[in-house]
Amino acid sequence: MLVGIFLVIIALTEIVIYWGLSSGRSPQEYLLTSVGFLIALPLFAYFVFRSFTRGKDALRTFVNSTADLIKSWACIGPLPETGGYEAVCEFSNGCFVQCVFGVMNVKKGSKSGILRVFKFIKGPDRVLSAPLVKAKNDKRTLKTTKFPRSEKDLDSWKTSETPWKRGVSNDEFVRSWITAHLGWRTFHFSRPSPGSIIYPPVVFCLDLFLRSSEHEGEWLKGKAIGFALNYIEPIDPQEIKDFYSWTITTADRIIQHIEETI
């Protein structure tokens, strides 16, 4: 079907070119323009296709490295906002995870992605349709909060009036994750190394429609606590596996601290 659409586009564009150039131009000029178009469009389509598949291929390391923790998963894309792909997964610990790689974020030797971990605190209900806006921030349940950039900044949470912040600050598992991955450099324009978090992670509460990883066309509707981060994927296969496992477990622990106090 896609090939047929592509051929129709070529035919229609040829008609437009002919109509626009036929008056006042020689057949030779038209021929050169026409041939140029016939070569340029397939080349453009080829590079767009290569860009799309790069985002899809980038998900393989994520899925392979977390396969023993995944109950079900689905690959979705290309996404209109990034041109890339995302993996939507249900994990055995009760978390739902989105891993997203956009076209512009997958380069040779470097892959920057977005990881979102959700846990439903109400629902989820299974529905067959979703609105255009699939996530609405519920700031009354949980105020959107950026994480500290360092272990030192996390110490300030020990005296916070918010109970879950105190719980997170005293959680040695979470503290060790922050020490390992939020090592920001002195100069902000320096690119973080593989395995680093690009920006401080964020926690939030959403009224969410999440695409089901089990049944195509089905959505999960409910209220969820979320943990999101931008990161540079490690290079070594074992480091990739350790990074995802440790990060998702850390997100689960943070969400548990929040669940216990809201």
Domains of the chain, by residue range, sit at 2-49, 59-259
Predicted confidence (pLDDT) at residue 227 exceeds the cutoff of 80 = yes
Q: What is the pLDDT of residues 142-173, one digit of tens each?
A: 999 999 877 788 899 999 999 999 999 999 99
Q: Is the dihedral of CA 259, 179, 109, 202 positive or negative?
A: positive
Q: Which residues lie closer than 8 Å to 58 by C-beta, 6 or more apart?
A: 84, 85, 101, 106, 111, 113, 233
- Extract the tokens encoding 1: 């079907």
pTM of this prediction? 0.78
Other C-beta atoms within 10 Å of 84: how many? 25
Phi-psi region of 70 (alpha: psi -120 to 50; beta: other; left: phi over 0): beta
H runs (alpha helix) in 66-212: 151-155, 163-169, 172-181
**What does the alpha-carbon distance between residue 9 and residue 231 come to, in Å, rounded to a whole number?**
39
- SS3 assignment, position 96: strand
Phi, psi of 112 (to 5 degrees): -105, 130
Can you give the pLDDT at residue 111? 81
Can you give the pLDDT at residue 17? 59
DSSP 198: S
Pairing of strands 202-211, 219-232: antiparallel
123 within 8 A of 209, measured Cβ to Cβ: no
Can you give the pLDDT at residue 82? 60
201 within 8 A of 148, measured Cβ to Cβ: no
Strands (E), the chain: 70-76, 85-91, 96-101, 106-107, 110-127, 135-137, 145-146, 202-211, 219-232
Greatest Cα-to-Cα distance within the chain, rounded to the nearest angstrom: 81
Q: Could you write out the DSSP letters of every residue in 227-244? A: EEEEEE--SSHHHHHHHH
Q: What is the pLDDT of residues 6-47, one digit of tens each?
A: 556 666 666 665 555 555 555 556 566 666 666 666 655 555
Cis peptide bond N-terminal to 163, omega within 30: no
